[in-house]
Copies of this chain bind each other. A is one copy, B any other.
């Protein structure tokens, strides 16, 4: 079983290998292929198109037992929009591919599409194409989103520099706690609704991403979809640097702290290893601190400085005297 799992995971690498085979023969208008949140294509002097695709499969990415179809329709859009936000772009068009099982109920589908449409409206996206197929046993939705922006403002993963500050938007871990609460059927207790919503209907940081990109202050950026330990490791690998995170600076909501105690899961595990927060992680030079805080405050949003970029490699969590390499989720004591 674990062999199977490894094999499937390695398919991501296989797709990357196809991309590697293409090296040197890419069209000159392709600025970034596989390897960032979006592909980046130059469409005219100074303007680029951003392209991204994401698939959700029943029983793998969502459980219809607790994921209301309306929120699922919204989430199928949001997870892609978040990839556009991660580059600092403006989402514009969507393509929808729906795989509908024989057992699918009409009302269920209508609610899904109502949610899908409401998210299109929220992000001013225009649906420009689609495909509807029978999918056998499982509901499946694959969405492609196309965005655009100024070429000079695109924020890649690869620009982090030693000495940079590492920032994250909002709170981390809420979505992971929400998922766990749903799994355990504990969705009706106290303040958990914001956590559950963070899992069911995440809100990508489009306005923040655009503003940060326009400011020219950001060196590297991506969205937090697989957990900070993994996503910051992607930035470090792409940039050829390492990072230190200060455990005390990781932004934790009150609701998360209560839920973590209740769930008996270490709160930092949820915040650093839990996925699907769809917040932004980005780096800036250390003298941009005040400008970033002012820019974010003007948008009515919230960011935290959680650490800094260092020479070397890996993502190191600093907690008291302890330093642990948490790159790609794997906790491993190094001191």
Give A residues with C-beta under 8 Å from B.
4, 7-8, 11-12, 14-15, 18-19, 21-22, 25-27, 30, 33-34, 38-39, 41, 43-45, 47, 49, 51-61, 92-93, 95-100, 102, 104, 106, 109, 113, 116-117, 120, 126-138, 140, 142, 144, 146
Contacts and interface: CB of A to CB of B under 8 A. Distances in A.
Contact of A146 (B25, B51, B116, B120): B51
Contacts of A21: 117
B93 A39 contact: yes
Nearest to A103: B4
A11 B136 contact: no
A135 B138 contact: yes
A197 B117 CA distance: 40
Contacts of A126: 22, 25-27, 30, 33
Nearest to A12: B132
Contacts of A52: 129
A108 to B, nearest CB: 11
Contact of A34 (B53, B127, B144): B127
A57 B133 contact: yes
Contacts of A95: 39, 51, 53, 144
Contacts of A22: 120, 126-127
Contact of A55 (B11, B54, B133): B133
A44 B43 contact: yes
Total copies of this chain within the assembly: 2
A25 B12 CA distance: 37
A30 B126 CA distance: 9
Contacts of A92: 27
A242 to B, nearest CB: 27
Contacts of A19: 127-128
A314 to B, nearest CB: 25
Contacts of A117: 18, 21
A34 B113 contact: no
A60 B95 CA distance: 21
B133 A39 contact: no
Of A117, A129, A132, which is in contact with the most chain B CB atoms at under 10 Å from its CB?
A: A129
Nearest to A129: B39
Contacts of A38: 129
A240 B255 CA distance: 59
Given A93-B30, A102-B4, A51 B133 contact: no
Contacts of A18: 113, 116-117, 120, 127
A130 B34 contact: yes
Contacts of A116: 18
Contact of A53 (B45, B59, B97, B102): B97
Given A8-B104, A33-B126, 15 more contacts: A15-B127, A25-B126, A30-B128, A34-B128, A34-B129, A39-B93, A41-B146, A51-B93, A51-B129, A53-B129, A55-B133, A57-B135, A58-B136, A59-B136, A97-B142
